[in-house]
Structure 1
Amino acid sequence: MRIFGLSVLDVGIILLYLAVILWLGRRSQRRTKDTGDFYIAGRRLGKFYQFFLNFGHATNADQAVAVAREVYRQGIGGMWIQYLVLFLTPFYWFTSAFYRRARQVTLGDFYSERFRSKFLGGSFAVFTLVMAVIGGGVGFMVAGKTVEALTPKPAELYTVAETHSVEMFREYQALKQKLDLGLTVADKARYDELNDRFKKGELRSFISHIDPLVVYLVYGVIVAVYTMMGGFIAAAFTDVIQGFLIVIFSVMLIPLALNQIGGFAGLHARVPDFMFNLFGSVTTSEYAWYTILAMVLANLVSIIASAPMMQTASAARDENAARFGMIAGMFFKRFLMIFWALAGLLAVGLFKGQLHDPDLIWGYMTLHLLFPGAVGLMLAGILAANMSTLSAASVTYSALFIRNLYQPFVSPKSERHLLFIGRIVIAVTLAGGIGAALFVGNLLDLFKYFISMPAVFGASIWLGFIWRRLTRWAVIIQIFVCFGIYAVIPNVFQSWDWAKSNAAFLRETRPRVVRLVTEALQEDVDAGRARAAGEKIVKPYAIEPTAVFYEKVVRVRPEDPDSPRIGIGRFEAEVWVLSWLGIDFTRFTKAQLVATRFFFDALFPFVLLFLLSRLTRPLPKSELDSFFAKVHTPVQPIPADDERAVEEARAQPEKFLRRKLWPRSNWEVMKPGRADILGFGGTWVLVGVIILLLWLMVTIR
């Protein structure tokens, strides 16, 4: 007996997992007495729970799907859309200490204190709540697409329209395989039509029994119930179980896929060797080394604006627990990401050209490689990975609303009232995530959006912790300008007919055909282009035009070669602004366009803040002394001792002068101690170890 394509055993495993999670939520509710317990677990979480909270919050199934998706599309270099965070991990040594020493609950509280501005605190809360809706959409989308891939409808049950869509997809893939060798005029016209239909989402490789909306609703209700019951304590408890399930879902596909493909030797025989280029190919990949560098910089600016990270660190007993939990949890995630990337390569070898949507690859591999029971365990792992993130994040967003949008503007309310309102906010943010999942077409759009958007606030948080001269008005103006470029213009131009059809915005890069020296695959041997797999041969590789200012440029009516074209997807406002300088972006590659956008996202906010701060007045010295004295004071495990230490530091702020790297400047950067040198340096050693493991993975045969 099967239920929507799943065995009874699989369904039973999923239901058991959900029951355990709800039971833990109910148990944790008994330990939640006030908002301090609900939002930061009473600041009593040690290294064990900090590890699982950070690992669980940071490790989402959507990231595994995104890595596998991009490797499936681009080769191993595509993994950097997610794996670029590897180079950010050492900086958590500092951010975790900043968060905990701020001794606040939310980053909105940081803005309110550092700049004496409830407006900035509230603005950050509004921004983060909007981003929460988008972020929630990622988790829902992964759950929905995975279930969709696991529940294919038999072809005999297709409607006429569904049959036509699947047949067009197969025709499209057949023509695409011939593209490098050249198409006839008629075939090229047909390919262009089908390619436009594919970009618009009209082609499908299969049809599912399940409507994703049903998955979103059931999934959302369960997350809402256990999180609303126990708050951050529930998130900490459930993250322990979910952490183990995340490990299972990350590795269980690998041995079965390797066995089916014939080990690493079989993998190299079926996958082009340029797809094993660790840092991508400048010619064929969207992720060249400079693209990765640009995305790393943009992400480095953004990471400190992570509201859930602030709250997780704030829940730690002291800064040592916060540091250990964040760094250990993050590095364990980086290790598991190696398996996600390998899954993407294996998918290329086993299922290349079989899917209309690369986001489905994880579910498709699960369906074709796993057995009953294992499928249910995989689904439970995917649900666990997303639930662990959504639960902790939704508590964070609730705290932001209560502390930075509700309490500052209403008369004092009871703890019971605040908890009631906070729980409603959790439900609302999760519902918003469902809406985002229904609206956005694919995960890559969301990930690229996420990298740049937090940079709107990230630059001012970094400087707020280390530069006294940063002013309130500089931050306000910078936020509005960057928000306009990063969010308002892209979204307005994405939906404005004038912009979408404006010829100036429909420019594309120039198509090229390059010749690559590559190792022959088995298909090359079968076609007579090589004598044996692995032999060096020269193959043509067609690089199709890519849109400069939009994600894609398509014909309104794909079947009509003379149809007017329009831009769809995100409008790249950063590239547009730089085009005012006279740069001809049609000569750029896709990798260069992506790099341009993210270099702008990373650096432009700092340029504005430095310039504007020189033109505006900072806070009084006494207020700045009070803030930085607190930030420079290590957190004590016992609350009474910690309060005493902060009071003493504020009474003698001048004692920190001799510890500053530049004592007579506005920079509040302390001289590194032995622990900082060992901690920060040691994390870079671990980065090297991870890269070594990646290199071994792509070179082993």
Structure 2
Amino acid sequence: MNLQLNPIDWIVLIGYLIGVAVIGILAGMKIRGTESYFMGDRGFNRWLMIGQSFGIGTHAEMPVSLAGAVYSTGFSGIWFQWKNLFATPFYWVIAPLFRRMRRTTIGEVVEDRYGPWMGVVYTAFAIAFFTINMASMLKGAGKVISQATGGDVSANTIVLAMTVIFLLYSFIGGLVATAWTDFAQGFLIIALSFLLVPLGWGLVGGMEGMRQTLEPHFFSLATPSGIGVWFIMMLTINGLIGIISQPHQLAAVGTGKDEHTCRTGMFYGNFVKRICTVGWALVGLIVAALVLQPQHGFAPLADPEDAFGMACRHLLFPGGLGLMVASILAANMSTCSAFMVDSGALFTKNLYQRFFRKTETDRHYLWAGRISGLVLSAMGVLYALFLVERVLYSFLLTETMATYMGISIFGGILWKRATRWGAVASLLTPLVVNFSLMAAKGERLDHWEPNVFGISLLSGIAALVVVSLMTKPEPEAASEEFFQRFEEPVEGTAKPGTRLLLADLGHGLKKGGHYGEDIRGFFLGWGMVALLVGLTWLWLRM
């Protein structure tokens, strides 16, 4: 069966593309300077922040890679995306840190803490992060659309077409366009997550039919034949430490009008994604059953990551394919547009303005950000076209790189004695250990294994502590200014004197009920996580 786009599909697609372009152009008319373009004037409401966190954090390669993992290993493959589930309650206490950083990029924060050249090291990491992550997203979307339309259009052609679209409205509208399009496109992403499930459910005979077809371990949340508890633990730590160093997070989380809005956006935006993940996993389970049930006549997939695309091609009704393609484009372009804006900000603030053109007008830096974002996005396209083989491992590579970078950032916030030499050691040591162990095992450098990750992470933490204690402390004046920034909220964003649990954790907690909002939100988050896991577990046992 080769499902082609019909007139209804084209109407849906064209309507979507026109709508996104109009939003970007209208938002661009309001852009007056770098603060608007890069940070949206830090004035977004809670709904825009939820939509922004959800849209930026949800990419088209995620359902592709996750459905492929579940197709291969069973439902426990959900932990490739649920790896951040147990980290989600911590987002409530992490989010206000981004609002108090008072900077445009994480690179500036690193420079404030460890000095100029460490800021350059972070910038190099961030450019690599944006390049590989954008490539993974583009390739993932290209693969699923190519499969969904029968392979008549190559994945690389789709990559190029998507790039032109998101570059258009991002170049004009910056983060304002990104926030509004993320909000609108969030509804399409939810459709992407659950549209295929009811269409395939009856075809495989529901849960009873899948149980008769698939091995028992396919219905386990944690199993040695899929992904065990140790694997899940390492994935969770990977996500928790890495979140603070991901270069797009400052714009994604720290641009709310106040600290509570930032908390709400980061926590609930990411929790909606955790719910959508269940839909992606179900697609992988359904495809695994379809392939094994002989009456459907489907051959086993040569590439497990083709599972989601195959489901699109064989399950969707006329018009549904257009909605699905629009949803995939939405999932990708919402994130790629943010990456373009954030990479432009990073290059402009941390390299161009810092070292080359220090006294230009704000309008000059605005155009520098636009053009550099365009060029850096082109690097991601080239990586997608020529270097990405497995989307899942490319995704995990960027997450792991962020974790190794996050050692020094978390360490720098929690421990005043951390030094720049300890910071660079905490980055280089785990990278060398990780890649050396992978090479010794004969694996690609973007392969991920929990034991290798755990050893590498411990080596990085040890390097931070040992090298920091052996080297000269950071200048006291700069260090004190950095830590004072986290002690007092930006005017109008929280009650004066409000303390943050995470900011005080390594320096002595204060008495007097300072951390009520931190603690209430943290435990509410754990309750929601327990409810989601419990309901999923009960459903798998039906």
> Which category of TM-score, normalised to the shorter sequence, fits these structures?
over 0.9
- Ranges in structure 2 where 5+ consecutive residues have no aligned partner: 293-298
Aligned-partner Cα distance in 2 for 1:659–1:377: 42
Residue equivalent to 1:678: 520
Residue equivalent to 1:380: 326
Residue equivalent to 2:146: 148
Question: 1:687–1:667: structure 2 CA closer, same or farther, 3 Å change rule?
Answer: same
Alignment deviations for residues 106-147 of structure 1 (CA, whole Å, 9 cap, x no partner): 1101111122x1111121111111121110111111221112
Aligned-partner Cα distance in 2 for 1:297–1:659: 17
Q: Give the number of the structure whose alpha-carbon radius of gyration is greater.
A: 1
Question: 1:461–1:256: structure 2 CA closer, same or farther, 3 Å change rule?
Answer: same
Q: 1:667 aligns with which of 503, 507, 510?
A: 507
Alignment deviations for residues 269-326 of structure 1 (CA, whole Å, 9 cap, x no partner): 222111111112x2x22x2111111221222221111111112222111111100000
Aligned-partner Cα distance in 2 for 1:597–1:619: 32
Structure 1 residue 53 and structure 2 residue 52: aligned? yes
Q: CA deviation at 1:490?
A: 7.8
Q: CA deviation at 1:479?
A: 2.4
Residue equivalent to 1:533: none
Q: CA deviation at 1:4?
A: 8.7
AA at the equivalent of 1:434: V
AA at the equivalent of 2:269: G
Structure 1 residue 596 and structure 2 residue 488: aligned? no
Q: CA deviation at 1:637?
A: 2.6
Alignment deviations for residues 620-679 of structure 1 (CA, whole Å, 9 cap, x no partner): 3333322212202123337xx99xx6xxx8xxxxx98999978xxx63555662222211
Q: Secondary structure at the match of 2:83?
A: helix
**Are the aligned partners of 1:298 and 1:601 in contact in 2 as well (CA < 8 Å)?**
no
Question: 1:97–1:320: structure 2 CA closer, same or farther, 3 Å change rule?
Answer: same
AA at the equivalent of 2:91: Y
Residue equivalent to 1:448: 396
Question: 1:629–1:209: structure 2 CA closer, same or farther, 3 Å change rule?
Answer: same
Question: 1:357–1:667: structure 2 CA closer, same or farther, 3 Å change rule?
Answer: same
Aligned-partner Cα distance in 1 for 2:540–2:197: 14
AA at the equivalent of 1:37: S
Bigger shift: 255-264 or 424-433? 424-433
Q: 2:364 aligns with which of 408, 414, 417?
A: 417
Residue equivalent to 2:295: none
Instruction: Number of aligned residue pairs: give it.
Output: 532
Aligned-partner Cα distance in 2 for 1:369–1:318: 44
Residue equivalent to 1:564: none
Residue equivalent to 1:114: 113
Structure 1 residue 431 and structure 2 residue 371: aligned? no
Q: CA deviation at 1:65?
A: 1.5
Aligned-partner Cα distance in 1 for 2:363–2:329: 31
Question: 1:228–1:668: structure 2 CA closer, same or farther, 3 Å change rule?
Answer: farther
Alignment deviations for residues 221-275 of structure 1 (CA, whole Å, 9 cap, x no partner): 1111110000000001111110010111111111111111122211212221111
Bigger shift: 4-13 or 224-233? 4-13
Greater fraction of residues in strand: 1
Alignment deviations for residues 341-364 of structure 1 (CA, whole Å, 9 cap, x no partner): 111111111125532111111111
Residue equivalent to 2:221: 278
Question: 1:392–1:656: structure 2 CA closer, same or farther, 3 Å change rule?
Answer: closer
AA at the equivalent of 2:522: F
Residue equivalent to 1:133: 131
Structure 1 residue 222 and structure 2 residue 162: aligned? no
**Are the aligned partners of 1:550 and 1:571 in contact in 2 as well (CA < 8 Å)?**
no
- Ranges in structure 1 where 5+ consecutive residues have no aligned partner: 153-207, 494-504, 506-548, 552-568, 573-592, 650-654
**Are the aligned partners of 1:297 and 1:602 in contact in 2 as well (CA < 8 Å)?**
no
Q: CA deviation at 1:480?
A: 3.0
Q: Secondary structure at the match of 2:87?
A: helix
Q: Secondary structure at the match of 1:104?
A: coil
Question: 1:319–1:119: structure 2 CA closer, same or farther, 3 Å change rule?
Answer: same
Alignment deviations for residues 475-506 of structure 1 (CA, whole Å, 9 cap, x no partner): 1233233343446x589x5xxxxxxxxxxx4x
Structure 1 residue 69 and structure 2 residue 32: aligned? no
Structure 1 residue 697 and structure 2 residue 524: aligned? no
Aligned-partner Cα distance in 1 for 2:500–2:56: 37
**Are the aligned partners of 1:104 and 1:314 in contact in 2 as well (CA < 8 Å)?**
no
Higher relative contact order (CA 8 A, sep 6+): 2
AA at the equivalent of 2:456: D
**Are the aligned partners of 2:23 and 2:177 in contact in 1 as well (CA < 8 Å)?**
yes
Q: 1:294 aligns with which of 223, 234, 242?
A: 234
Aligned-partner Cα distance in 1 for 2:116–2:393: 32
Residue equivalent to 1:570: 445
**Are the aligned partners of 1:232 and 1:395 in contact in 2 as well (CA < 8 Å)?**
yes
Q: CA deviation at 1:85?
A: 0.9
**Are the aligned partners of 1:133 and 1:433 in contact in 2 as well (CA < 8 Å)?**
yes
Structure 1 residue 305 and structure 2 residue 248: aligned? no
**Are the aligned partners of 1:295 and 1:598 in contact in 2 as well (CA < 8 Å)?**
no
Q: 1:550 aligns with which of 442, 458, 466?
A: 442
Aligned-partner Cα distance in 2 for 1:320–1:215: 39
Question: 1:262–1:4: structure 2 CA closer, same or farther, 3 Å change rule?
Answer: closer
Aligned-partner Cα distance in 1 for 2:186–2:40: 19
Question: 1:483–1:414: structure 2 CA closer, same or farther, 3 Å change rule?
Answer: farther
**Are the aligned partners of 1:39 and 1:399 in contact in 2 as well (CA < 8 Å)?**
yes
Question: 1:668–1:432: structure 2 CA closer, same or farther, 3 Å change rule?
Answer: farther
Structure 1 residue 609 and structure 2 residue 464: aligned? yes
AA at the equivalent of 1:550: G
Q: 1:625 aligns with which of 464, 480, 488?
A: 480
Question: 1:486–1:15: structure 2 CA closer, same or farther, 3 Å change rule?
Answer: farther
Residue equivalent to 2:82: 83
Aligned-partner Cα distance in 2 for 1:386–1:279: 29
Aligned-partner Cα distance in 2 for 1:126–1:354: 41
Aligned-partner Cα distance in 2 for 1:306–1:120: 16
Name the % identity: 30
**Are the aligned partners of 2:65 and 2:392 in contact in 1 as well (CA < 8 Å)?**
yes
**Are the aligned partners of 1:32 and 1:38 in contact in 2 as well (CA < 8 Å)?**
yes
Q: Secondary structure at the match of 2:445?
A: strand
Structure 1 residue 475 and structure 2 residue 423: aligned? yes
Alignment deviations for residues 463-485 of structure 1 (CA, whole Å, 9 cap, x no partner): 11111111122112332333434
**Are the aligned partners of 1:55 and 1:332 in contact in 2 as well (CA < 8 Å)?**
yes
AA at the equivalent of 1:686: M
Structure 1 residue 463 and structure 2 residue 461: aligned? no
RMSD: 2.5
AA at the equivalent of 1:667: H
Q: 1:238 aligns with which of 181, 191, 194?
A: 181
Q: CA deviation at 1:610?
A: 0.8
Residue equivalent to 1:408: 354
Aligned-partner Cα distance in 1 for 2:379–2:450: 31
Q: CA deviation at 1:692?
A: 1.1
